[in-house]
Copies of this chain bind each other. A is one copy, B any other.
Amino acid sequence: MAAGTLYTYPDNWRAFKAQIAAQYSGASLKVASAAPAFTFGQTNRSPVFLKNFPLGKVPAYQGADGFCLFESNAIAHYLGNEELRGASPEAAAQVLQWVSFADSEIIPPASAWVFPTLGIMQFNKQATEQAKEDVKKVLTMLNQHLNTRTFLVGERVSLADIAVVCSMLTLFCRSLSLLSAAFPNVTRWFVTCVNQPQFKAVLGEVKLCEKMAQFDA
């Protein structure tokens, strides 16, 4: 059973993937997200950290045995179990499919839409409108896939659900409520997932936003 430390800043949706996976597998995971254990911007630029994690990115995982990993999908995979990863070759491939899908189809437009509302980036009307269209396209596809399914792969939660849910957290919590009526299956699936005890233990109470967040200057 894996045991180690996850270095990250607080409320990092990428780190949540690994943390939720560890909840399912029972892996012993210490989260270092605040001083003195870890200060983002300082610790991850130190020579010691960069020796183990050359890109200085977080989340970063170091096992009690010294085994080091970066890239959140790899860490979540390592901290998961066979069920989460997909027990058959087909299921395992489908899990990877959805994990890649989250990174390539959800994160770019979600970031473009949400970052201005968080004050992370300047608002750009054209980019935001395009991002909304891209998100709608992706949700339409997901909604269709979840029409007859409770989870993305098979009949239980997998790393696919964990990755896609985490990639959509800021969307659902800041921008998506007015759209969620149009994607009832996605909303049903999302609410089911975030109410699983293992998700709740990491995310706490997840509130769908009441009002679409606007640009935060």
List residues of chain A with CB under 8 Å of any chain B CB: 2, 54-55, 67, 69-75, 77-78, 89-90, 92-94, 96-97, 100-101, 103-105, 141, 144-145
Evaluate contact between B96 and A55: CB separation under 8 angstroms: no
B54 near A74 (CB under 8 angstroms)? no
Copies in the complex: 2
Complex-state Cα separation, A153 to B97, whole angstroms: 22
Cβ–Cβ contact A144 & B74, under 8 A: no
A100–B89 CA distance with the chains assembled, in angstroms: 20
A75 to B94, CA, bound (A): 9
Partner of A54, one of B54, B73, B89, B141: B141
CB-CB under 8 A from A2, the residues of chain B are 89
State whether B145 touches A54 (Cβ < 8 A).
yes
B55 in contact with A70 (CB, 8 Å) = no
**Minimum CB–CB distance for A78 against chain B, Å:** 4
Among B70, B74, B96, which residue has its beta carbon within 8 angstroms of that of A71?
A: B96
Do A71 and B97 touch (CB < 8 A)?
yes
Chain B residue contacts of A54, Cβ below 8 A:
141, 144-145
- Residues of chain B within 8 A (CB-CB) of A70 are 97, 101
Contact of A74 with B103 in the complex, beta carbons under 8 Å: no
A48 → chain B, closest Cβ, in Å?
16
Known: A54-B144, A54-B145, A145-B54. A78 touches B93 (CB 8 A): yes
Q: List 23 A-B contacts (CB under 8 A).
A: A2-B89, A54-B145, A55-B105, A55-B141, A67-B90, A69-B93, A70-B97, A70-B101, A71-B96, A71-B97, A71-B104, A72-B100, A73-B96, A74-B93, A74-B94, A74-B97, A75-B93, A77-B93, A77-B96, A78-B92, A78-B93, A100-B103, A103-B104
C-alpha spacing A74/B92, complex, angstroms: 8
